[in-house]
Amino acid sequence: MKKALILGILAALLIVPTVVFAATTIGIMSGTKITFLGPNCNMNYTDSVLNPKAPVYGTNITAEVTSVYGFEPIVALGDQSVQPGKEQSYLYTLTNNANTSDAFYITDNVVFTNTNGHDWKIRVIVNGVTTLVTWDVTSAPCPLSKDGVEIVSVEVTPSTWEAWSPNGSSVEVTLNITTESNPTGYYFSPNTCTYGGLATSSDATVTLITTSAMKMTRYAVANAPILYSGGKHDPVPGAVITYVIVTSNEGDSNATNVIIVDKVPTQDVAAYHMGYNGLHDNVTIDAGLPTAYGWKGYYSKSTPPDLNFGVIGSDWITVDALNGATIDSAATYVKWEKVTVEPTEDAKTLTWGIIIK
């Protein structure tokens, strides 16, 4: 008998129950009256000679469900890159896990990682209502109903002025959400449900400016005629003056619809050549400067021509040669256009020139 009892106890000890917790459950509404014992609890009996006695009923025992507070943590969002003046929105979903209504507060901490970032607009919006427009302050309490879901968005709009939204400037916004109540945290019950939630949740996002940043320098080189006995670069009659335009995209994103226009001098000189997809033979430049390819070249004899991107026709005449071309001596303007200039295009050269009469 003892042996059988011992084996039974050992078998019971080897059985380990597996508990799988379900998702967080809201639970019964706070303040609900629950009856533990009531009129249905009764006792019947007879006396010593088996005569029925009056039933005895249990007292009515009730309990009021206690409030359980907390919410699900907001999901962390990744950093984003934007152009100056373009709004970037970060959307968060706040889910109430309390068995009663609650309220929450919002604080937005803002740190610029580049001192040139100015005049940026940062707003916190709760369900379409602007809640915060200033930084590092705490909002008024925002209501959160039982079973409630609130959409909280952070909107970052950099300045449209390039000097205040330079390439590489950024802002870090930390959104902190705190309940008005005092949650006890998560807990589990024998029915495999999870109840409760967090008291605070936060997320930090970085909005980074990645924009194009075109730079341009310009210098001139004189090349004297071949049979001239003086200096090779003397600006004498018959010499060719070549203007060298050096372009670079020093930003982190493409520049689009780029147009470069230069005006031809009109006194004592005449337009002579233009290179737009290579270098002209009449120019001697720094060998370390690579050629700018992919640009379309045009010259105009109008004063002034239409200076908008993409305009050709009567105002602008296309340069046909791939490696530079002699252009009309009556040209008044030259221009180059390129739809896309990538960030890798640094220190690329374009040339055009005049001849001294």
Domain spans of the chain, in order of start:
30-64, 80-209, 214-356
What is the distance between the alpha carbons of residues 197 and 9, in angstroms, rounded to a whole number?
39
Question: Which residues neighbour 39 within 8 Å (Cβ) at sequence distance 6 or greater?
Answer: 57, 58, 60
What is the distance between the alpha carbons of residues 347 and 22, in angstroms, rounded to a whole number?
61
* β-pairing verdict for 348-356 and 317-318: unpaired
Q: Give me the pLDDT at residue 234, please.
A: 93
Q: Give me the pLDDT at residue 19, please.
A: 35
Q: Give me the pLDDT at residue 154, please.
A: 95
Instruction: Please classify residue 11 by burial: count the beta carbons closer than 10 Å to its beta carbon, then call 0-12 exposed, 13-18 middle and 19+ buried.
Output: exposed
- Flag whether the pTM goes above 0.85: no
Per-residue tens of pLDDT for the chain, all 357 residues:
444 434 443 344 333 343 333 467 777 888 787 776 665 788 899 989 999 999 888 777 788 888 889 888 899 999 999 999 999 999 999 998 888 899 999 999 999 876 556 789 999 999 888 988 888 889 999 998 888 899 999 999 999 988 888 888 899 999 999 999 988 788 888 877 888 888 999 999 999 999 888 999 999 989 899 889 999 999 999 998 888 888 999 888 899 999 999 999 888 888 888 875 444 444 434 444 556 677 888 889 888 898 889 888 788 988 865 445 778 888 899 988 889 999 888 888 888 888 999
Fold designation for 80-209: Immunoglobulin-like (2.60.40)
Q: Give me the pLDDT at residue 290, please.
A: 59
In the block, tokens 């493409």 appear at 254
What is the distance between the alpha carbons of residues 220 and 280, in angstroms, rounded to a whole number?
14
CATH code for the structural domain at 214-356: 2.60.120
For residue 285, which phi and psi values (nearest 5 degrees)?
Answer: -125, 175
What is the distance between the alpha carbons of residues 278 and 235, in angstroms, rounded to a whole number?
24
What's the token pair of residue 37? 């014992």
Nearest by Cα to 139 from 148, 129, 149? 129
